[in-house]
Structure 1
Amino acid sequence: MTVAGMAAAVSDGPLPFRLTAFDGSQAGPPDAPGLHIRNRHALNYVLTAPGDLGLARAYIAGDMDMTGVHPANPYPLLRLMAQELRLRRPTPGEVVDLVRSAGLSSLLPVVPPPQEATPRWLRVAHGLGHSRKRDASAIGRHYDVSNDFYEMVLGPSMTYTCALYPTADASLEQAQDAKHALVFDKLGLRPGDRLLDVGCGWGSMVRHAARRGVRVLGVTLSSQQAQWGQRAIRDEGLGDLAEIRHLDYRDVPETGFDAISSIGLTEHIGVKQYPDYFGRLYGKLRPGGRLLNHCITRPENRTAAKAEPFIDRYVFPDGELTGSGRIIMAMQDTGFDVRHAENLREHYGMTLRDWCGNLERHWTACVDDVGEGTAKVWGLYMAACRLGFERNTIQLVQVLGVKPDDQGDSAVPLRPWWRG
């Protein structure tokens, strides 16, 4: 059986994409984007880890190519596969033919590409669950890649979270500034207030608030982020108002903050840690203080929180997603008066579109900086996530909560007070 024949055995109907292989076989529309299987090693990856993980391994290792698309942005191919590819379970006889054609050696496990993290169950060497040591290891693996690489992909704002597009033709920088303004306004910040930004990244929200007279402390588990952010604070002359520490949010000694922003951190916390997480943030606020939690969520609250294999092994080790309902419930059970929730998933799809565009424009420099395999991981993951937001398999939800005073007063206006 040829490679194209193997694909036909698991496809319900004609392939919607172009497939070519080392054995000369081919299938699918000639003018469509597609896959090229370069060697039997690719079959080994796919057969030992069926699904997204095996395909990703073959692609990142260079044993399979994506054709008709740029490696920085394979979105057109992924969208075509998601919309039109239908798979079926092969019959027992077809399974035998598949194994015989691929060879028994193709069923033996192979070493994955070096960009892959160890399986979740083997990460105990870095600590159990979401211990400080294990969280620091997971964050460092993803965020301590290269500040130069992030500058090329994220753009001048160095903001690695969903932007807010005020218009369809707004630039990425305009959209990121609008996002920070929305968070600032929802928190009701004023000059002289104290803000804690947990998981602050490179400090874009820290600097946005400090420019407006707010005293800000940002904390991150990434040493490279902290160094970059502190330098940016000095360069802007904001040192008297802003500070970024390489510190776990659980170890912040200060209390009595007027507001806390948590932008893109909850995905790393772990659902079982929500009570402790929101409890600690609640304890850091003064009565009447506000929390804005901005994170990726699922569109429902029933599925397992653990990330899919590709994301868990290559992008966010130990990351977990759940529905916004579970986040709101955890906040309420902590004592927060939840005042507003907003789904911005379309905006995240647009953000990822623009990040992929940046990666494509700077592809050669990015490959020189982090290597082709890592650059391909980023193009694949961002394009796949863009598709997920567009198809409503993942969402981005902001939840605003207030710590009421002893009388239950949250001291908020009768109607929403922000624009955007």
Structure 2
Amino acid sequence: MMSTSESTCTVADMVKAVTTPPLPLRVTAYDGSAVGPRACDLELHVVSPKALSYIITAPGELGLARAYIMGQIVARGVEPGDPYRAFDRLEQLRAQLRRPSLTSLRRILTTIGRSGLRRPDVPDAETPPAWRRALTGVRPHTARGDRDTVSSHYDRSNRFYSMVLGPLMTYTCALFTRPDDSLEDAQDNKIRLVLDKLDLEPGQRLLDIGCGWGSVLVAAAQRGIRAIGVTLSEPQARWANEWIAREGLSDLAEARVMDYREVPERGFDAICSLGMMEHVGVRHYDEYFSTMFSLLRPGGRLLNHQITRRDSTQPNRAGAFIGRYVFPDGELAAPGVVMTHLHDAGFEVVHEENLRQHYALTLERWCRNLQEHWDAAVASGGSQTSLLWGLYMAGARWNFERDTIQIHQLLAVRPGLEQDGHWYPLRPWWNA
């Protein structure tokens, strides 16, 4: 019969049992054990047995994220607002995972059992899975379901968002002319590009679907364009309307708390939708584009700007971490799939471009902002929210840089009434 010391193991023993050396990082633990290079510049510290409970009850990225957000795993050697450098090491570690022997597995389970394993509390920011929300009558991509998921992501402290996003409060990919452009200049450039592509004259009407905090509405109104924005987030709409009022533009622009499917006006000269489509759901793409087609006048233009998969072999659904913490019910499709649905709704696609590299640069700037304002961000949004956003944004940057995901701008037109088919100029009319 094994003795107590033989039947249990340390955290370092557990790591050794499930990985192939040498490790790309160092792991230390509450029990005084350690494994991995002593001189390593990245260390994961396991604070208490509760960290093991998170990992055992939700193996993979979800359990690890829960433990990190709850402060049960601490990453040393990276900034909490920008843990980007850890992702390469974690990817290497993932590739070194192996099945433990039966003896090791028994020792691991015995050790965890003696520590009083129970399902730990999940972070406050976590959204229940779709099946559990469905039991309460909240179905994905219905009007109520979309309100709930948008609220879970956007109805945080506006002050917290301002520290991350910067003064323009623009939560979409910026457009860089050089890698060292400031975030504000790059966001100004992106908004300029969107409005230039839509090519509206003063007095013409723009609908911004998913208008966020109103940066496009303000810029459009400054050009004399009459702009309506819709969002499902009340704090966003309030911020946008206060900004519009400060600029003296309330006679030209407004933000509404409204589902895009409920907009009563018709005959818009242009529609833009920036970072909204990620919430729609692939099965609802036809409804999404058909609704926008009906809202535009003949000859009107649509600028759709959305994150996509790299190709159609990748799954549409987000991973467990993104699905629970960032975009509940979020889905992504390949750019060709998006284009197909645009054509099927009756649009003619005029232009397409991939801004993948630009989003990586944008996320790097957002992480830098979060880290520079770390103490204030924690005071405003709490430690869980701050750790969550650092993790999410750094991970997103890592994936954009490696072409796991992309972001595409598609400019389309609703065919006009003219018989000659000349609904737009022969060549691009904007400064790229």
Q: Does the TM-score normalized on the shorter chain lie above 0.5? A: yes
- Displacement, 1:370? 1.4
Residue pair 1:48, 1:106 contacting (<8 A) in 2 also: no
Cα gap change, 1:163 to 1:83, in 2 (>3 Å): farther
Q: How does 1:10-409 map to 2 (within 5 A)?
A: 10-29=18-37, 30-83=39-92, 85-93=94-102, 94-103=104-113, 108-124=118-134, 125=136, 127-406=138-417, 407=419, 409=421
Q: Distance in 2 between matches of 1:54 and 1:263?
A: 31
Cα pair distance change 1:410/1:65, threshold 3 Å: farther
Which consecutive residues of structure 2, in runs of 5 or more, have no partner in the other structure?
1-8
CA distances 1:383-411 after superposition (whole Å, capped 9, x unpaired): 11110101111111111111112448251
Q: CA deviation at 1:254?
A: 0.6
Q: Cα distance, 1:126 vs. partner?
A: 5.2
- What SS does the aligned partner of 1:346 have? helix
Where 1:103 maps in the other structure, the secondary structure is helix
| Distance (Å, rounded) in 2 between the aligned partners of 1:95 and 1:349 | 40
Taking the aligned partners of 1:40 and 1:16, their CA distance within structure 2 comes to 23
Output one character per residue of 1:15-36: Cα deviation in whole Å (capped at 9) or x when no partner: 1012111111112232321210
After superposition, the Cα gap between the structure-2 partners of 1:123 and 1:24, relative to the gap in structure 1 and judged at 3 Å, is: same
* Cα pair 1:294 1:396 within 8 Å, conserved: yes
Q: Is the 8 A contact 1:126 1:137 kept in 2?
A: no
Q: 1:199: Cα distance to partner?
A: 0.2
For the residues of structure 2 that align with 1:409 and 1:102, how far apart are their CA atoms? 70
Question: Normalising to structure 2: TM-score of the pair?
Answer: 0.94
Query: CA deviation digits over 1:76-132, x for unaligned, max 9?
Result: 112332256523331451433332333376764333122211112111225222111
Is the CA contact 1:402–1:410 (under 8 Å) kept in the aligned structure 2? Answer: no
The alignment partner of 2:227 has SS state of: strand
The alignment partner of 1:288 has SS state of strand
Letter in 1 for 2:90: M
Offset of residue 5 of structure 1: 2.2
- Partners of 1:25 and 1:246 lie apart in 2 by 53
Contact 2:17/2:101 (<8 A) preserved: no
Q: Is the contact between residue 24 and residue 92 of structure 2 (CA under 8 Å) also seen in structure 1?
A: no
**Pairing 1:3–2:11 present:** yes
Which letter does structure 2 place at the counterpart of 1:57?
R
User: How far apart are residue 60 of structure 1 and its match?
Assistant: 1.0
The DSSP-based 3-state class of the residue aligned with 1:259 is strand
Deviation string 1:163-190 (CA, Å, 9 cap, x unpaired) is: 0011111100000000001111111222
1:414 aligns with 2:422: no
Alpha-carbon offset, residue 418 of structure 1:
1.7
Note the alpha carbon deviations across 1:21-67, whole angstroms, 9 max, x for none.
11111122323212100111100101111111001111111111111
Moved over 4 A (4+): 104-108
Q: Distance in 2 between matches of 1:203 and 1:410?
A: 33
The CA distance in 1 between the partners of 2:105 and 2:314, in whole Å, is 30
* 8 Å contact kept, 2:55–2:67: yes
Q: CA deviation at 1:319?
A: 1.1
Indicate if the aligned counterparts of 2:56 and 2:63 stay in contact, CA closer than 8 A: yes
CA contact under 8 A between 2:130 and 2:140: conserved in structure 1?
no
Rounded to whole Å, the distance in 2 between the matches of 1:218 and 1:302 is 35
Work out whether residues 153 and 326 of structure 2, in 8 Å CA contact, stay in contact via their aligned partners in 1: yes
Higher mean Cα deviation, 5-14 or 341-350?
5-14
Q: How many residues end up aligned between the 2 structures?
A: 420
Question: What root-mean-square deviation, in Å, do the aligned CA atoms of Structure 1 and Structure 2 show?
Answer: 1.6
Gaps spanning 5+ residues in structure 1: where? none
What SS does structure 2 have at the residue aligned with 1:36?
strand
Q: In 1, are the aligned partners of 2:81 and 2:390 still within 8 Å (CA)? A: yes
SS at structure 1 position matched to 2:95? coil
Call closer, same or farther: CA 1:410–1:218 in 2, change over 3 Å. farther
**Does the CA-based 8 Å contact 2:214-2:229 persist in structure 1?**
yes
3-state secondary structure, aligned to 2:255: strand
8 Å Cα contact 1:115/1:314 also seen in 2: yes
Question: Which residue identity lines up with residue 233 of structure 1 in the other structure?
Answer: I
Cα shift readout 1:217-267 (whole Å, capped 9, x = no counterpart): 101000000000000000001111111111111110111111100000000
The answer on whether the counterparts of 2:130 and 2:139 sit within 8 Å (CA) in structure 1 is: no
Report the residue type matching 1:99 in the other structure.
L
Which of 1 and 2 has greater Rg?
Answer: 2
